[in-house]
Structure 1
Amino acid sequence: MRVSVITAALNEEANIQAAVGSAQAAGADEIIVVDGGSADATIALATQAGATLIHSPPGRAIQQNAGVAASSGDVLLFLHADCRLAAESISQIRQRDDGFVFGAFRQKIDAAPILYRLVEWGNDLRIRWLGLPYGDQAIAVRRAAFEQAGQFANVPFLEDYLLSRKLRRQHWPTLLPGPVITSARRWRKQGVIRQTLLNWRLLAAYHRGVPLEELAARYRRHDQPK
């Protein structure tokens, strides 16, 4: 089983080497960084770290689909640039062999306050009960299932949520022990409770029919082009 790790990056010089290094330590067969037009040292650092670098227009969905097109793995693992895999992560997928179709990892947010433990717990339950892993839990999926689901929708926001909704119709996701170490930068900037409530409001707004472009502007994600 070949596992390709795919990371979309835009101005991630502070994080990209750690992300690539964690994928190497976990035993990835292939590591592809898809740069969306970084103006900092992301490109040089990703190359120095040993990743295969490709370029695409900015936008996480577009970049990740471009990474898939350039990859050769049986399993696609989408690792956000500000996340790190545990050394055992890929072996946890391989141990399931043909039984693995779609899943993500338990999350460990890199901050100490207990509120972050509650966020982690809630995110684990979202996978178990709703079958909806998000991108910062490092979604992994068989290539065939990913293609059957139509890849990532070409949207500016919620691409991970939309993909997971399609994939869970094929196979309920596996919650892998991981963990994936996730940056707390957005929670630190906005506050844990405020950010969590914003996430819920945006998802509710999507289901009311608010355009994704408007929701993306409200969220102001780090990897979105200015």
Structure 2
Amino acid sequence: MRQSIARSVEVLCRVISIVIPTTETASFLIPTLAALVPGAAAGVVREVLLVDGRESADVAEIADAAGCEYLRGPADLGARLRLGAATARMPWLMFLQPAGLAQEGWTREVRGFIDQVERMGALDRRAATFRLALDGFGVAPRLKEAAAVARYALTGRARPEQGLLIHRRFYEALGGHEAGGQSPRRLAARIGRGRLVLLRSQMLLPEG
């Protein structure tokens, strides 16, 4: 009985905060947030924070309608991401781009990754990202997707647009996001080869 209760408490703690930096991206947000609904329904996503760099009334309205937290942040991307992480209440952080659409099965993949990392005791040395999928027909999008897989295989890094799932302990140990527009890439470099797991589920992005 005691073990069952402890397990239930452990599961309740195993939830994520999603941080999305926004500027002039209101038109992309509704599909992005809609793709997160399965995660909220499954109890994996506990909160979504929209950290806006322009005090956009449209973004604030969408946040209110969708039940997200709206934060007025600085123009600097790295500072906005850092603000979102500092405000988030959950132990796991997931950073997404405002145009990214998490594809079918992402909730199961995220939960499986978190379960495995916690069993391994690797909270401070493993992070995850999604596979890249581009919304377009023809050869060019497929070549870019293949290039993203090759980049991961060779360098252990992914594009920031693919998203990042990381435990707060690991995030803080790495120093979090620095200032500047290249902050997500620099954080990925600090995570390093072999510590970033490529999930099977995809993040769909507009081509280009």
User: TM (normalized to structure 1)?
Assistant: 0.75
CA contact (8 A) 1:10 1:37 kept: yes
SS of the aligned residue for 1:58 comes to coil
- Partner Cα distance (2:104, 2:85) in 1: 23
Q: 1:125 to 1:75 in 2, by over 3 A?
A: farther
Structure 2 residue 178 is the aligned partner of structure 1 residue 178: no
Aligned residue in 2 for 1:132? 157
1:45 aligns with 2:62: yes
Q: Distance in 2 between matches of 1:105 and 1:148?
A: 22
Mapping for residues 69-80 of structure 1, pairs under 5 Å: 69-80=86-97
Query: Which residue of the partner structure matches residue 205 of structure 1?
Result: none
CA deviation after TM superposition for structure 1 residue 129, in Å: 2.3
2:130 touches 2:198 (CA, 8 Å); kept in 1? yes
Q: Quick one: which amino acid aligns to residue 160 of structure 1?
A: P
- The CA distance in 1 between the partners of 2:55 and 2:136, in whole Å, is 27
> Which secondary structure state, in structure 2, belongs to the residue aligned with residue 7 of structure 1?
strand
Please, what TM-score do these two structures have when normalized by structure 2? 0.81
Conservation of the 8 A alpha-carbon contact between 1:16 and 1:46: no
Q: Could you tell me which runs of 5 or more consecutive residues in structure 2 were left unpaired when the two chains were aligned.
A: 1-13
In structure 1, runs of 5+ residues without a counterpart are: 188-226
| Cα distance in 1 between the residues matched to 2:129 and 2:110 | 10
Q: Distance in 1 between matches of 2:39 and 2:153?
A: 24
Per-residue deviation, 1:32: 0.8
Match of residue 93 from structure 1: 110
One of 104, 111, 115 as aligned partner of 2:140? 115
Identity of aligned residues (%): 17
| Equivalent position SS for 1:141 | strand
Secondary structure in 2 aligned to 1:152? Answer: coil
SS in 2 for 1:26: helix
8 Å CA contact 1:8–1:35 kept in 2: the answer is yes
1:95-133 Cα distance to aligned partner (Å, 9 max, x none): 131427212101111111211111111112222321112
Query: What is the RMSD computed on CA atoms of the aligned residues?
Result: 1.7
Report the number of matched residues. Answer: 183
> 1:26·1:85 contact (CA, 8 Å) conserved in 2?
no
Q: How does 1:143-222 map to 2 (within 5 A)?
A: 143-155=168-180, 157-168=181-192, 172-184=195-207, 187=208
Alpha-carbon contact 1:12-1:81 (below 8 Å) kept: yes
Measured in 2, the distance between the counterparts of 1:11 and 1:55 equals 13
Give 1 or 2: higher strand fraction: 2
Residues 12-21 or 39-48, more deviating: 39-48
| Whole-angstrom CA distance in 2 between matches of 1:38 and 1:177 | 35
Cα separation, 2, equivalents of 1:145 and 1:75: 10
Cα distance in 2 between the residues matched to 1:39 and 1:77 = 22
Deviation by residue 1:171-214 (Cα, 9 ceiling, x = unmatched): 52100012111122xx2xxxxxxxxxxxxxxxxxxxxxxxxxxx
